[in-house]
Amino acid sequence: MLHIKDISFSYNGIRLVFDGVSINVKKGSVVGIVGPSGAGKSTLLKSVAGLITVDKGEIILDGTKIQSPQNKLVPGDDEVGFVNQSFELDDFYTCEENILRSLLHLSKEQRVVFCDQLIILLGLEEVRHLQGRHLSGGEQQRLSIAAALAKEPKILLLDEPFVHLDVHLRKKLGKYIRDLCEIRGMMILLVTHEGEEALSWSDEIYCMFNGKLTRKYAPQNAYSKPKSLKEGRFFGELNSVRIGKKQVLFRPTEFAFEGEGSNELSISFQYDEFRGFYTASYFKLENGREIVLYADASLNKISKIYVGI
């Protein structure tokens, strides 16, 4: 289990990046942290990886405190795998060597088998003998995920790990990593500004703004019962209308064309966007605010809907 206990961090003791953060990650589970750029997410992960020293609080992994960099010869923790955008790979090692050097805890035979598995999983067959410096950004990203998995860490920290990956590889890798969580009890802490990615991955999701965790959600509730517009919008388009004194939040599919006893809204069509299996239609309300509705086809003939049923 990972316990992050009330940690705070500032650069040079002046610039407060995050404050009073507490999170628990259970064995075999994935915890997502979602928030805008600059919220402090990456810095938070660096503290869990033992790469920076927190000002306050402590981080305990399976009963052992994560050491800060000044207490270690080599900063970082062997039990922690960290994938971020700075791909700390050896430029002169080949792709395969970069993976193998993370497999020293295994026997020689096991190393070869596991290395092959990771190369195939991440689609690196064609570049396995190329040096790190000759790999594209996407290949480096996949290699850094492979190298992190090769360590067989207790916890894997993922900082926007899939930005360069196509949707098929995301799904395949997602399934593999989830399986590792279940089979080996590995923990994952994932940070992203793409809430939808967190929805499909996480068992629990925290929202983070300006260095503070604002709320914890089950993924279903982050989508269907957000407590604020600011949080809810991270997980997909969300409408906000004022009815009487009440603010009503609803997703673009949560409306009806008829409805007794529900809230009637007069809307005027603006434009639509075809998005494959649905079309998003944008409307203006009488007060000038915009809302969006999803349906099989454009709703350009609609001027009244019912919400909050």
Write out the residues near ligand ADP by the rule CB under 6 A: 11, 15, 17, 35, 37-43
H or E element, residue 235: none
Interior angle at CA 98, CA 198 and CA 74, nearest 5: 80
Kindly list the strands in the beta sheet with 279-285, ordered across the sheet, starting from the edge strand earlier in the chain.
290-295, 279-285, 263-274, 304-307
Q: Measured from the CB atom, is 160 or 272 closer to ligand ADP?
A: 160
Q: Measured from the CB atom, is 217 or 283 closer to ligand ADP?
A: 217
Q: Measured from the CB atom, is 35 or 81 closer to ligand ADP?
A: 35
- Per DSSP, the residues of 38-49 read TSSHHHHHHHHT
- Min. distance of Cβ 44 from ligand ADP in angstroms? 7
Q: Measured from the CB atom, is 27 or 212 closer to ligand ADP?
A: 212
- Min. distance of Cβ 140 from ligand ADP in angstroms? 19
- Min. distance of Cβ 188 from ligand ADP in angstroms? 17
- Min. distance of Cβ 88 from ligand ADP in angstroms? 16
* Dihedral angle sign, alpha carbons of residues 251, 257, 262, 267: positive
Smallest Cα–Cα separation from 206: which of 225, 185, 190? 190
What residues pair up with 190 in beta bridges, in sequence order? 32, 158
Q: Which residue has the tokens 């949560």?
A: 254
- Min. distance of Cβ 211 from ligand ADP in angstroms? 7
- Per DSSP, the residues of 111-140 read HHHHHHHHHHHTT-GGGTTSBGGGS-HHHH
Q: Measured from the CB atom, is 38 or 137 closer to ligand ADP?
A: 38
Q: Measured from the CB atom, is 42 or 240 closer to ligand ADP?
A: 42
- Min. distance of Cβ 161 from ligand ADP in angstroms? 13
Q: Measured from the CB atom, is 213 or 299 closer to ligand ADP?
A: 213
- Min. distance of Cβ 39 from ligand ADP in angstroms? 4
Query: What is the rounded CA–CA span in Å between residue 41 and residue 43?
Result: 5
* Dihedral angle sign, alpha carbons of residues 122, 128, 132, 133: negative
Smallest Cα–Cα separation from 24: which of 223, 239, 164, 213? 213
